[in-house]
Amino acid sequence: MTSPYAFGGKVAVVTGASRGIGLAVAEGFVAAGARVCVTARDADGLARATARLGDAVGLAGTVADPAHLRRLTELAMDEYGRIDVVVNNAATNQPYGPLMDADPDRWREAFTVNVEAPLRLVQHAWRAWMRAHGGSVVNICTEGATHVGPHLGAYGTSKAALLHLTRQLAGELAPGVRVNAVSPGLVRTEMARFVWDRADQESATGLPLGRLGEPGDIAGAVLWLTSDAAKWITGTDLLVDGGTRVRAAHAPKSAPLQDGNYHLPGA
């Protein structure tokens, strides 16, 4: 794998990196010369991912645990001595279903994982390295954060909050640290399998670009946003959806994807 971007000597911390988008992002950074510190809940999956990545260290655990995020930051600093990039990819899509049936405690967990954890990790990276040396943050959001859809109210609402947090941090941490979001459409990850596994090929070709997304599509966007090629960009949300929002003008012959307005990162 080759990369058009140069990250030699830099260090990236990526959450939810044992599979799917997180792993693709970590692989992209390694291909571009960076060293990576990765985390995920699945210890075995993370061990396999770390071995596959090569120049990487990993720490298994949940981003919902504040102590885990502190240890993750300490690991990156102890092993590599710096943190140039943070990618907040880990997420939960629970509770799934109508909000009138949602357990308020499960609702709170969605915000703990999808909003609070990204803030905590950026705080740690800022205090450990970025305040003095600068850096870049990308939060993985979702194309569905700007409108409503069935069964994923907690996920969509928490990701909408993450979008606002992205803009708020961009304003507060400038000019030294750039903070942006990438909002995917429907991507073939395990976490989103319940959506794309039932989406037939006719529906997929109803998108202007003719296919569903792959993890590498999102990784490419993340690498671009964190590279010097995007050094005058902060506080933005980069939509990577295969043309979901313009398919009405595209006039597809097939029915639109059901639940296709949501990306569920492979945490």
Question: pLDDT: is 151 or 255 the higher one?
Answer: 151
pLDDT at 32: 97
Q: Say which DSSP state 63 is in.
A: T
Residues 6+ apart with CB under 8 A from 196: 186, 187, 188, 212
pLDDT at 143: 84
Around Cβ 3, how many Cβ atoms within 10 Å?
Answer: 18
171: Cα within 13 Å, side-chain hemisphere: 5
In this structure, of 34-38, 77-81, 118-122, 181-185, the range with the lowest mean pLDDT score is 181-185
Report angle CA 26, 29, 30 to the nearest 5 degrees.
Answer: 90
Q: How confident is the model at residue 189 (pLDDT cuts 50, 70, 90)?
A: low
Domains belonging to the chain, first-starting first, are 11-250 (3.40.50.720)
Residue 155: active-site member: yes
Find the mean pLDDT for residues 129-157: 91
Q: Please tell me the distance from the alpha carbon of residue 79 to that of residue 53, in angstroms, as a whole number.
A: 15
User: What are the distances in angstroms from CA 207 to CA 64, 99, 109, 195?
Assistant: 35, 29, 33, 15
Q: Residue 216's closest CA among 27, 18, 55, 12?
A: 27
Q: What is the pLDDT of residues 60-98, one digit of tens each?
A: 999 999 999 999 999 999 999 999 999 999 999 999 899
Given strand 85-88, what is the order of strands in its sheet?
56-60, 35-40, 11-15, 85-88, 135-140, 177-184, 237-240
pLDDT > 80? residue 193: no
Which of 5, 80, 96, 155 is flagged as catalytic? 155
- What mean pLDDT is reported for the chain? 87
Q: Please tell me the distance from the alpha carbon of residue 21 to that of residue 8, in angstroms, as a whole number.
A: 22
Q: What is the pLDDT of residues 3-53, one digit of tens each?
A: 778 999 999 999 999 999 999 999 999 999 999 999 999 999 999 999 999
Model-level pTM? Answer: 0.88
Q: Which residue has the tokens 């006719």?
A: 202
Q: How confident is the model at residue 225 (pLDDT cuts 50, 70, 90)?
A: very high
Q: Residue 186's closest CA among 128, 243, 127, 123?
A: 243
Around Cβ 156, how many Cβ atoms within 10 Å?
Answer: 23
CB-count exposure of residue 249 (10 Å: 0-12, 13-18, 19+): exposed
pLDDT > 70? residue 180: yes
